Amino acid sequence: MLRPRSSPSPSPESKPESVVTPTAVVSGRHTEGTGGRAEAALPARVALQTLGEASHRLSFWLLAGTFFICGWSTNGLIGTHFIPAAHDHGMPPTTAAGLLALIGIFDIAGTVASGWLTDRVDPRLLLVGYYVLRGLSLLVVPSVLGPGVEPSLFLFIVFYGLDWVATVPPTMALCRAHFGLERSSIVFGWVFAAHMVGAGIAATFAGWVRQSSGDYFWAWLTAGILCLIAGFACLAIPRRAPEGARSPGTTPDDAGPSAGQRGSVTKSSA
């Protein structure tokens, strides 16, 4: 008769294996002899804890607020309402959809170029330029929309495509500068959540404006003014976090290269 084979009992000297769980990697905490479970926080807990710590800093609210406006002026307004707004001016929906797709094509080039610039220029100044120029372009949209694709409208499409996600690299660089390399991705996740909240509110607001007034004029005007406000708000973001408030993993160079470093980068690239 076969009997189940009993497993050998562990010797007194043996120690349980140390297992590193994914949550332990995310939280950065791991203890020997406990299987990594004692101090391995859940990812959601780490995200909420990071939000609680970041929310005590002005730089977080400036980054989240400007990205809220970024979402308002991209996904919420242009992404949702450009086609019906162009149709209101007599443009066929298929033509308007093609222009919106063209924005997406130029978006790729703009994002790559913005990443290159972020390594060489102060990220705050880049954000000022992106938001201010975006705001000015939105103020002229009602005058460039029409039944056909005029050069002025095509110029707006090209610029808006280049500017669409150009705000991401400098915003990410500032998250890293103020909250450290280890937590910058989590902080940027919360900043991006503000982006999507802004997009949702803008989509609703612009639809309400169209239904109540019969056109999108006040939607364009509101978005343009908000972008101008966001541009100047970026000037209030400190280049680096104060020494006492600097997060673990943050180095003095995390905010991007200094003036001397930018010169060396330019020379080496030349």
| pLDDT band (50, 70, 90) for residue 12 | very low
Q: What does the alpha-carbon distance between residue 106 and residue 155 come to, in Å, rounded to a whole number? A: 12
In a domain, residue 35? The reply is no
Q: Taking a C-beta distance cutoff of 8 angstroms, is the pair 231, 105 a contact? A: no
Q: What does the alpha-carbon distance between residue 96 and residue 155 come to, in Å, rounded to a whole number? A: 14
Question: Can you tell me the mean pLDDT for 52-79?
Answer: 96
- Report how many domains make up the chain: 1
CATH of the domain at 217: 1.20.1250.20
Extract the tokens encoding 14.
């043996």
Output the pLDDT for position 44. 87
Amino acid of residue 187: V
Q: What does the alpha-carbon distance between residue 53 and residue 66 come to, in Å, rounded to a whole number? A: 19
Extract the tokens encoding 173.
């660089």
In a domain, residue 4? The reply is no
In a domain, residue 42? The reply is no
In a domain, residue 6? The reply is no
Q: Is the pTM of the predicted complex or chain greater than 0.85?
A: no
Q: How many CB atoms lie within 10 A of CB 222?
A: 19
Say if residue 68's pLDDT is above 80: yes
In a domain, residue 23? The reply is no
Q: Taking a C-beta distance cutoff of 8 angstroms, is the pair 171, 63 a contact? A: yes
Output the pLDDT for position 243. 59
Say if residue 25's pLDDT is above 50: no
Say if residue 39's pLDDT is above 80: no
Q: Which of 257, 231, 233, 206 is nearest to 79 (CA)?
A: 206
Q: Give me the helices (H) in 140-257, please.
A: 141-144, 151-163, 168-213, 217-233
Q: Taking a C-beta distance cutoff of 8 angstroms, is the pair 190, 48 a contact? A: no
Q: Which of 195, 162, 172 is nearest to 73 (CA)?
A: 195
Residues 145-161: tens digit of each pLDDT? 999 999 999 999 999 99
What is the residue range of 142's domain? 60-263
In a domain, residue 94? The reply is yes
Q: What does the alpha-carbon distance between residue 256 and residue 127 come to, in Å, rounded to a whole number? A: 13
Residues 125-143: tens digit of each pLDDT? 999 999 999 999 999 999 9
In a domain, residue 162? The reply is yes
In a domain, residue 29? The reply is no
For the chain, give the number of residues.
270
Residues 201-253: tens digit of each pLDDT? 999 999 999 999 999 999 999 999 999 999 999 999 987 766 555 554 444 44
Q: Taking a C-beta distance cutoff of 8 angstroms, is the pair 234, 128 a contact? A: yes
